[in-house]
């Protein structure tokens, strides 16, 4: 950003390909852990909510408040207790996936037509079989839609975790700001957006592959 | 002394309540920056969304712009705004942050005002026309009041995202409550860090709840009580 300096210095990119690859890998791992564990927690809570619907309100209220808290503030609130650690980053990132995932899993299961459920029960399915063999497969498209939103959001939020020393593509943005050097700034920003778009596209393919009937119908 | 004790001590220290780094100043900076960004976002996005909704044009773009906005990380926006602000000679601090915040406001407001206007029952619009209303009358007396809850929800989502992202302005030497977090991290002062985080979190939640209250006051009772009213489907994107 000094006058006369080009906006992007390609030689910097060429010299730092290894570092770029490493930061992309960190970013993917941080996001993967968050969405994976977030999905497990949301899944357990959603199954419980479907059985005990009166808890839906309180659970979405709490996860909604969590969702509203700015990421940098949430990380900062945790630092005095869990330090500048991976745990701090992941507690925050996992927290942000819950609202969307729980909403989509619950509404996916609830949107299964009552006659389908009753037909399965009439055929002698147990509650557990109805859940795994009827409700979840039918809810899968809505669940994956939730996973897409949660993943894209997490990839964006993971850029902030560089501030608490956990790497990822935000590291380049931070480096660019601190050194007044636009090349890493732009590399970090462009790669995180590109990563979000690519992963979103990949999840669309996963959804088509897992639920072929949804595309055949439309 | 326990950690929470030291946080309380920091909060009760009168020197932290005055001067340019005092809590009232930082809150004011945060609110003014966020308010201006939301205001400019509304001025840009609301007319476009309403116009596209009323004329039913460019629906695909208007609906998908929100998803594109979701994929734009706040840090990336700040990163891209910094060279722009610099090449315009606007320096550090307020302007690069402001330039990063406005694009965050546009997608949720545009999409929600478009969807709000489009989701007005066509029979209602026809009835308004049949009563002799012109385009302007249909918009002002039928479409806008019915679309109001969704439009307010769009502005609310934008405001929450902006209050959150304004925190990052401290990274580019901006003011606001993010100062306490960034300085607390840099100087390894956990009490300053924690107070800053707490205030930012409270401000974000207050923004969310404040808009909920505003919606109750601004939306006509007849609209609020109809059950067909589409609720805002997507919550704000955490920032």
Distances (CA, A) of A31 to A97, A199, B219, B235: 10, 11, 39, 20
Given A73, A77, A173, which is nearest B76 (Cβ)? Answer: A173
Residue B234 neighbours by CB distance under 10 Å: 18
Residues 6+ apart with CB under 8 A from A185: A172, A173, A175, A176, A177, B79, B80, B82, B83
Residue B35 neighbours by CB distance under 10 Å: 14
Closest CA to A40 of A96, A101, A99: A101
**Residues of chain B positioned with their CB less than 8 A from the CB of A192:** 73, 75-76
A55 in any annotated domain: yes
Read off the pTM: 0.87
| Domain region containing A131 | 10-217
A27 in any annotated domain: yes
Which residue out of A1, A69, A190 would a mutagenesis test of the B interface target, given it has the greatest number of B Cβ atoms within 10 Å? Answer: A69
pLDDT value, residue A136: 93
Return the CATH number at A182: 1.10.3720.10
Measured distance CA(A75)–CA(A91) in Å, rounded: 8
**Model confidence over A3-17: pLDDT tens digits?**
667 788 898 998 999
Residues within 8 A of B (CB atoms), A 12-41 only: none
Q: Does B33 touch chain A (CB under 8 A)?
A: no
- CATH superfamily, domain B25-225, is MetI-like (1.10.3720.10)
Determine, for residues A156 and B74 on separate chains, whether the beta-carbon distance falls below 8 Å. yes
Is the pLDDT score of A96 beyond 50?
yes
Interface confidence: ipTM more than 0.90: no
**Residues of chain B positioned with their CB less than 8 A from the CB of A200:** 71
pLDDT value, residue A82: 92
A21 in any annotated domain: yes
A5 in any annotated domain: no
Residue A2 · residue A180 · CB < 8 Å:
yes
Which residue out of A2, A61, A72, A180 would a mutagenesis test of the B interface target, given it has the greatest number of B Cβ atoms within 10 Å? Answer: A72
Determine, for residues A80 and B167 on separate chains, whether the beta-carbon distance falls below 8 Å. no
Determine, for residues A188 and B79 on separate chains, whether the beta-carbon distance falls below 8 Å. yes
Q: Does A146 touch chain B (CB under 8 A)?
A: no
Determine, for residues B167 and A73 on separate chains, whether the beta-carbon distance falls below 8 Å. yes
Measured distance CA(B109)–CA(A9) in Å, rounded: 36
pLDDT band per the 50, 70, 90 thresholds, residue A217: low
A4 in any annotated domain: no
Determine, for residues B237 and A156 on separate chains, whether the beta-carbon distance falls below 8 Å. yes
Tell me the domain boundaries of chain B: 25-225
**Residues of chain A positioned with their CB less than 8 A from the CB of B234:** 149
pLDDT value, residue A4: 64
**Residues of chain B positioned with their CB less than 8 A from the CB of A70:** 163-165, 167, 200-201, 204, 238-239
Q: What secondary structure, in 3-state letters, does chain B show?
A: CCHHHHHHHHHHCHHHHCCCCCHHHHHHHHHHHHHHHHHHHHHHHHHHHHHHHHHCCCHHHHHHHHHHHHHCCHHHHHHHHHHHHHHCCCCCCHHHHHHHHHHHHHHHHHHHHHHHHHCCCHHHHHHHHHCCCCHHHHHHHHHHHHHHHHHHHHHHHHHHHHHHHHHHHHHHCCCCCHHHHHHHHHCCCHHHHHHHHHHHHHHHHHHHHHHHHHHHHHCCHHHHHCCCCCCCCCCCCCC
Residue A177 · residue B172 · CB < 8 Å:
yes
pLDDT value, residue B229: 47
A171 in any annotated domain: yes
Tokens of B208: 């969310």
Tokens of B14: 């009168």
Q: Is the dihedral of CA A31, A34, A63, A163 positive or negative?
A: negative
pLDDT value, residue B82: 86
Residue B238 · residue B164 · CB < 8 Å:
yes
Query: Between these two residues, B235 and A71, which has the higher pLDDT value?
Result: A71
Residue B100 · residue B165 · CB < 8 Å:
yes
Given B71, B193, B201, which is nearest A156 (Cβ)? Answer: B71
Determine, for residues A80 and B72 on separate chains, whether the beta-carbon distance falls below 8 Å. no
Q: Give me the percent of chain B exceeding a pLDDT of 90.
A: 39
Measured distance CA(B68)–CA(B53) in Å, rounded: 19
**Residues of chain B positioned with their CB less than 8 A from the CB of A74:** 197, 201
**Model confidence over A14-31: pLDDT tens digits?**
899 999 999 999 999 999
Residue B112 · residue B150 · CB < 8 Å:
yes
Q: Does B100 touch chain A (CB under 8 A)?
A: no
Residues within 8 A of B (CB atoms), A 61-80 only: 64-65, 67-77, 79-80
pLDDT value, residue B226: 59
Q: Which residue of A has its CA nearest to B159?
A: A68
Residue with structure tokens 């920032």?
B239
pLDDT value, residue A113: 92
**Residues of chain A positioned with their CB less than 8 A from the CB of B81:** none
In chain A, the number of structural domains is: 1
């Amino acid at each position: 950003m000094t006058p006369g300096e080009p906006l992007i210095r390609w030689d910097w990119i060429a010299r730092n390909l290894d570092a770029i690859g490493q930061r992309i890998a960190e970013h993917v791992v941080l996001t993967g852990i968050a969405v994976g564990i977030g999905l497990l927690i949301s899944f357990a809570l959603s199954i419980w909510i479907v059985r005990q619907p009166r808890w839906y309100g309180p659970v979405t209220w709490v996860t909604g408040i969590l969702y509203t808290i700015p990421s940098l503030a949430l990380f900062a609130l945790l630092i005095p207790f869990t330090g500048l650690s991976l745990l701090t980053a992941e507690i925050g990132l996992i927290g942000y996936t819950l609202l969307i995932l729980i909403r989509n899993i619950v509404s996916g299961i609830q949107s299964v037509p009552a006659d389908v459920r009753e037909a399965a029960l009439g055929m002698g399915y147990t509650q557990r079989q109805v859940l795994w063999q009827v409700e979840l497969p039918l809810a899968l498209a809505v669940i994956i839609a939730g996973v897409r939103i949660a993943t894209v959001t997490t990839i964006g939020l993971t850029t902030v975790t560089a501030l608490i020393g956990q790497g990822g593509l935000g590291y380049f943005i931070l480096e660019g700001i601190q050194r007044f050097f636009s090349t890493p700034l732009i590399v970090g920003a462009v790669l995180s957006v590109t990563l979000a778009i690519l992963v979103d596209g990949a999840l669309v393919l996963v959804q088509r592959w897992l639920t072929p009937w949804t595309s055949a119908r439309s | 002394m326990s950690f929470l004790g030291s946080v309380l001590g920091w909060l009760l220290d009168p020197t932290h309540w005055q001067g340019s780094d005092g809590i009232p100043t930082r809150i004011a900076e945060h609110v003014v920056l966020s308010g201006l960004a939301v205001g400019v976002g509304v001025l840009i996005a609301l007319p476009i969304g309403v116009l596209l909704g009323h004329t039913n044009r460019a629906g695909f773009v208007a609906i998908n712009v929100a998803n594109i906005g979701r994929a734009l990380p706040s840090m990336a926006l700040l990163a891209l705004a910094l060279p722009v602000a610099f090449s315009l000679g606007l320096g550090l601090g307020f302007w690069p942050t402001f330039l990063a915040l406005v694009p965050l406001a546009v997608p949720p407001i545009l999409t929600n005002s478009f969807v709000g206007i489009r989701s007005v029952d066509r029979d209602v619009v026809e009835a308004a026309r049949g009563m002799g209303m012109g385009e302007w009358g249909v918009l002002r007396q039928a479409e806008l009041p019915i679309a109001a809850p969704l439009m307010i929800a769009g502005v609310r989502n934008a405001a929450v995202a902006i209050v959150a992202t304004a925190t990052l302005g401290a990274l580019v030497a901006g003011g606001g409550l993010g100062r306490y977090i960034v300085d607390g991290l840099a100087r390894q002062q956990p009490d300053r860090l924690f107070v800053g985080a707490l205030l930012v979190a409270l401000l974000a939640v207050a923004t969310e709840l404040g808009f909920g209250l505003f919606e109750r006051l601004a939306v006509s009772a007849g609209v609020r009580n109809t059950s067909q009213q589409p609720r805002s489907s997507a919550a704000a994107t955490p920032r």
